[in-house]
Amino acid sequence: MLPVSAVGHAGAALVITCEHGGNRIPPLYRDLFAPHRALLDSHRGFDAGALIMARALAAAFGVPLLSATVSRLLVDLNRSVGHRQLHFDPVLELPDTRRKHILQHYYQPYRSKAERLVTEAIAERGRVVHLSCHSFTPELNGKRRTADIGLLYDPARPGEKALCARWKRMFALHAPDLAVRRNYPYAGRNDGLTTWLRKRHSSDAYVGIELELNQKHVMRTTQRWATLREAVIESLHAAMTPLR
C-alpha cells in the first residue's frame, strides 16, 4: 500500500464512497425479505468486493471513506428519489409512511453526509476527486461483460474525462493484462450519486468517477484479488499525480 505521504498535500482532495457495500436488512424489514435471501446474496443485493476496494483505497491514500451496508434492495443509495429502481418491488408495496421511514433513516443521512464531505473538501482544497466504488456481475442476461475494470464519468466534464484517460493509461503501464474500459458497463451520466453531486458543484470544483470492478476477480484466489486492488491503487496514484 502507498503511505499517506506519497499522495502529497497540494492540489485536489480525494473522497471515497461505497453505496452498495453490503446486503444487510434492518430488523424492522427482515420479515419482508425472508423469501428473498438468495436475491440478497446475489449481485442484486450488493456489490461484492466494492467495500473491500473502497477501504483499501481510503487506507492507502489516507482519505475519508463513506460507506453503507444496507442492501440496495431496501433502498438504493445510488438512485434518485422517484427512480424506478430506488426500492425492490415488495418495498414499493409498503405504505407511504414506511417508505418515508426508510428514506429518513437510511437514504437521506447518507446523501447528506456525502454532500458534506464533498463540500468540505472543496472548501479546504478548492477541488475534490470523488471516487465511488462499485462492482458488476461478469454476465448479465446471458451476455458476458468484456472488461475487468470500468471507469464511469461524464464526457462533458473535462476534468473527469482527462482523469479517466490518464487512469486508463496508467493501468496499461501497471497492469497491462487488465482490460479497462471507459463508461462501461454503464454510462457515467446515468442517474447516480456522482450525477447528483455534479448538479451541485461546478466541473472545476468536482470530479466524480465511478470505479466498477468485474466480480469475477473478487471470486478468485486471495492473491489475485489482492493484486487487482494493488493495481487500482498504484494506477490511481500515478493518474492523480498531475492533479495534486
What is the pLDDT at residue 4? Answer: 31
Q: Do β-strands 128-136 and 65-67 pair in parallel, antiparallel, or remain unpaired?
A: unpaired
Positions of the chain with pLDDT lower than 70, given as ranges: 1-10, 220, 242-244
Q: pLDDT tens-digit profile of 125-177?
A: 999 999 999 999 999 988 999 999 999 999 999 999 999 999 999 999 999 99
235 neighbors 177 (Cβ within 8 angstroms): no
Cell readout for 141 is 442476461
Going by C-alpha positions, the residue among 203, 30, 227 that lies closest to residue 128 is: 203
Other CB atoms within 10 A of residue 188 CB:
26
Residue 139's φ and ψ, nearest 5 degrees, are: -140, 135
Q: Residue 133 is part of a domain; what is its CATH number?
A: 3.40.630.40
pTM for this prediction: 0.93
- Predicted local distance difference test score (pLDDT) of residue 1: 34
What range does the domain containing 9 cover? 4-243
Domain count, the chain: 1
Q: Tell me the residue type at 52.
A: I
The pairing of strands 180-182 and 206-214 is: unpaired
Cβ atoms within 10 Å of 177's Cβ, excluding its own:
9
